[in-house]
Chain A
């Protein structure tokens, strides 16, 4: 399974995931209270500097912005018409700061480290009956299921093509969902047969 992580040994890569996430929450919250173009531009320069510190290329930086490029442009035009270009610039700068910061954390933190941090962060939920180990279990199961579902979909599609049914998402989805549900039941039975207990008392 591919992840968005970009390997490296920089200070930002080594920083604990929890610290980075806390930083993001604090920065993200304060950004919403800033409406000054100079301050927001300064923040953007700092964020771009952080990409250099993390050894990212300019290409990587722009790749983070590409998915929101059109939304940002449309927002800018809409804001410029309604509230003037300054308001448009504030919204665009704020969004770019947020997206780039968040993406930087994703780029510099391993999925395994994120999972560990998540498991640690949700420990207090144990008091209200949520078992953190179950969360790790369902995370690993879901990641494992994605290629399985693609495989089942390919099999069903092939079987239907052989019978001349093609290009109907409904005709494809129904057998896929039923087959994967049956698979889920078998997996649950197998887990319990091996002594897994979802509600240990």
Chain B
């Protein structure tokens, strides 16, 4: 990794932490508040690519694990990983990786809608697969029950997919970080 890559990794760990400072938006129709923080993994993957994006989110989780209150609502410490929603935190790393990998693969032909689909596959499909699996084990539920308990968050996450895609594509136009792969 070049020096630049190390700084990018630290930067997006910090960006995701800073997103946690935004107060959660309560949407009357939905039962759950929407936090800006899960934009972080989508942006990290879509802007930095698979490896650096996943490392940035892993770094944030390390900071949280060693006791910094960087998750939205000032949460932090080891306990958050062992809670029922711990899988969604670890899933952020996977979300950034999948989003980044898909963006890298089609970097030169990316349109808004393919970008949104890729961000959805990483930031929602991959994330929920891990999160729901973990919830089922930690809370002793069947996979179906765990999934049913998580669907309330999906509308908010789709809004975030659209926001992240808009931001990532604007950054791609004016300050691209993922270089086009020569073998692509």
Contacts and interface: CB of A to CB of B under 8 A. Distances in A.
Contact of B68 (A137, A138, A143, A153): A143
A196 B139 CA distance: 47
A187 B7 contact: yes
Contact of A142 (B39, B60, B73, B149): B60
A106 B167 contact: no
A146 B3 contact: no
Nearest to B8: A184
> Interface size bucket, B side?
35 or more
Q: By CB atoms of chain A within 10 A, which of B78, B81, B149, B174 has the most? A: B78
Given A87-B140, A181-B171, A106 B79 contact: yes
B67 to A, nearest CB: 4
B171 A103 contact: no
Nearest to B21: A150
Chain A contact residues, majority secondary structure: helix
A169 to B, nearest CB: 6
Could you say which interface size class chain A belongs to?
A: 35 or more
DSSP majority for the B interface?
helix
Interface in B101-151: 138-141, 145, 149
Given A2-B69, A79-B139, A142 B10 contact: yes
Interface stretch (A37-45, A51-59, A107-115, A158-166): A107-115
Interface in A147-201: 148-150, 153, 169-170, 173-174, 177-178, 180-185, 187-188, 191-192, 196-199
Interface of B: 1-11, 13-15, 17-18, 21, 36, 39, 43, 47, 59-60, 62-63, 65-70, 73, 75-85, 138-141, 145, 149, 163, 166-167, 170-171, 174-175, 177
The 4 closest A-B pairs by CB, nearest first: A106-B77, A145-B14, A114-B66, A141-B10
